[in-house]
Amino acid sequence: MDDAKRDAIVKAAGKSFLKQGYAASSIEQIAAEAGVSKVTIYNHFGGKRVLFEAAVDRECARIRNLLTFQAADDGPIRDRLRVIGEAMVTFLSRPEMVQFERRIAAEMEQHPDVGKAFLEAGPYRMKAAFSAFLEQAVALGELDVPNTRLAVEQFVSMCKGMGDMERRLGVPLKPKENLERVIGAVEVFLKAYTAKAR
Amino acid sequence: MDDAKRDAIVKAAGKSFLKQGYAASSIEQIAAEAGVSKVTIYNHFGGKRVLFEAAVDRECARIRNLLTFQAADDGPIRDRLRVIGEAMVTFLSRPEMVQFERRIAAEMEQHPDVGKAFLEAGPYRMKAAFSAFLEQAVALGELDVPNTRLAVEQFVSMCKGMGDMERRLGVPLKPKENLERVIGAVEVFLKAYTAKAR
DNA sequence: GACAAAGTGAACCCCTCCGTTCAATTAAAC
DNA sequence: GTTTAATTGAACGGAGGGGTTCACTTTGTC
């Protein structure tokens, strides 16, 4: 019972903070949505700040759980790259994800920790996972990548293109463009990094 | 006198809105910083919303003026790409720019117009300018780019890499990494799009 | 059933802030 | 010098919201 309520509170808080931002969110409204008294919130958490950080933590944990990186091990490298790219773009284009990134960036100045927390939970984990994938392909002799760190960023960035920014700025999602970007990214990436046959 | 005051108000408003966000900015504080009475603001602009939009317009106009795209016409394509890439990344890494993007994205939900206004003033103009550059290089036979729109996004995105996001999330700027990204982007781009000698 | 812990609703204090009103002041125009 | 307009400071109303207190109720435990 204790835990269920606490969870409901943090969940409602996350929803509100992400949708309306920190300043525009009110504790009373969060309490109402969580089906809980305002006092209960102040008993569990000390104040608005603490609640906000708890909500961010929760959302980061959700991201960590959702972001599983299961790259197919077989098939041509071209297909594998494409599958990964598509999964990535789809994941990042989800409205909740876009909104989360928006809010974290906006709230970062007042709460400097949240930016780093988000980076660690999302982008950096994704980067590490894709790095491992690349290094495996290099070990298998499929790719010739001199600078893995750089190549990872290049592939991911090309897949995102301007879509990322557009989404963040309110332009509606166009799945066709996303797909086109991934396909294009794979082609460019392979032209630059395919291992030369010897 | 009228115009000077109006300008001071919009300037102070822009500063405050960008730094603290819409909700957290107060008219009185803006008035104080502009060296103007609160009533004067309400006489010039009707209310907070109008002032906000005026401030956004002003900042967009500033971007339009600053964003001049003077690509060198001579020298190897590799050097020209690098110069453009560096200029772009430098421009985008400026703290004011990062902050502006942050805020616009955050405030977009409550004020849907500002997102589009920003896109038109900044990213889309840059995209168009770089498109023209690419098409010129194609016409000169230096590059072979099947899809200009896509290639533009690819180059720009590679130059930005994850730096963009890191900046937005509070990670301090590392000029070395930015430079490395640009150089890497140029190499990959050229490997993919250099015109084959016939 | 009795007791303790947690939760609830309502009221309260205090602060910030938007937007307005108004008399007093300044500056400009004639 | 008088009139007209803009500006100012100060005060006010009203709303919203953070955080606290307290008496009351629910829930769970022994």
Q: What distance in Å separates the CA atoms of residue B24 and residue B194, rounded to the nearest whole number?
A: 50
User: Cβ of residue A42 near strand D, that is under 7 Å?
Assistant: yes
The SS3 assignment for B183 reads helix
| Residue that the structure tokens 């392979």 belong to | A190
Binning pLDDT at 50, 70 and 90, where does residue A67 land? confident
A45 nearest nt, CA–C1': D19
Chain B partners of A116 at a C-beta cutoff of 8 Å? 169-171
The SS3 assignment for B143 reads strand
Name the protein residue, with chain letter, whose CA is nearest the C1' of D20: A39
Q: What is the pLDDT of residue B1?
A: 53
Distance, in angstroms, between A163 CA and closest chain B CA? 9
Low-confidence ranges of chain B (pLDDT < 50): none
- Residue ranges of A 121-150 with Cβ closer than 8 A to chain B: 123, 127, 147, 150
Q: What is the pLDDT of residue A1?
A: 53
Q: Give the residue-averaged pLDDT of A173-198.
A: 94
Quick check: B159 and A165 in contact, CB under 8 A? no
Q: What is the pLDDT of residue A101?
A: 95
Question: Is residue A53's pLDDT more than 70?
Answer: yes
Q: What is the 3-state secondary structure (H, E, C) of chain B?
A: CHHHHHHHHHHHHHHHHHHHCCCCCCHHHHHHHHCCCHHHHHHHCCCHHHHHHHHHHHHHHHHHHHCCCCCCCCCCHHHHHHHHHHHHHHHHHCHHHHHHHHHHHHHCCCCHHHHHHHHHHCHHHHHHHHHHHHHHHHHCCCECCCCHHHHHHHHHHHHHCCHHHHHHCCCCCCHHHHHHHHHHHHHHHHHHHECCCC
Binning pLDDT at 50, 70 and 90, where does residue A109 land? confident
Closest-CA residue to A9 (of A53, A44, A47, A49) = A44
- Read off the pLDDT of residues B83-92 as tens digits, 9 standing for 90 and up: 999 999 999 9
Q: What is the pLDDT of residue A141?
A: 93
By CB neighbour count within 10 A (0-12 exposed, 13-18 middle, 19+ buried), where does B141 fall?
A: exposed
Separation of A37 CA and C11 C1' (Å): 14
Binning pLDDT at 50, 70 and 90, where does residue A110 land? confident
Alpha-carbon separation of residue B41 from A167, B16, B24, B50 (angstroms)? 34, 14, 17, 10
Does A169 contact B105 at a Cβ distance shorter than 8 Å? Answer: yes
Chain B partners of A56 at a C-beta cutoff of 8 Å? none
Residue B194 bridge partners (DSSP): B143
For chain A, list the domains and their CATH numbers: 2-55 (1.10.10.60), 67-193 (1.10.357.10)
Chain A partners of B24 at a C-beta cutoff of 8 Å? 23
Separation of B189 CA and C13 C1' (Å): 64
Separation of A102 CA and D14 C1' (Å): 33
Q: What is the pLDDT of residue A198?
A: 59
Quick check: A27 and A39 in contact, CB under 8 A? no
Q: What distance in Å separates the CA atoms of residue A139 and residue A77, rounded to the nearest whole number?
A: 13
Q: What is the pLDDT of residue B174?
A: 96
B162: how many CB neighbours lie within 10 A of its CB?
22
Q: What is the pLDDT of residue A74?
A: 80
B85-104 exposure pattern, b = at least 16 Cβ within 10 A, e = fewer: bbbbbebbbeeebbbbbbbb
Q: What is the pLDDT of residue B73?
A: 73
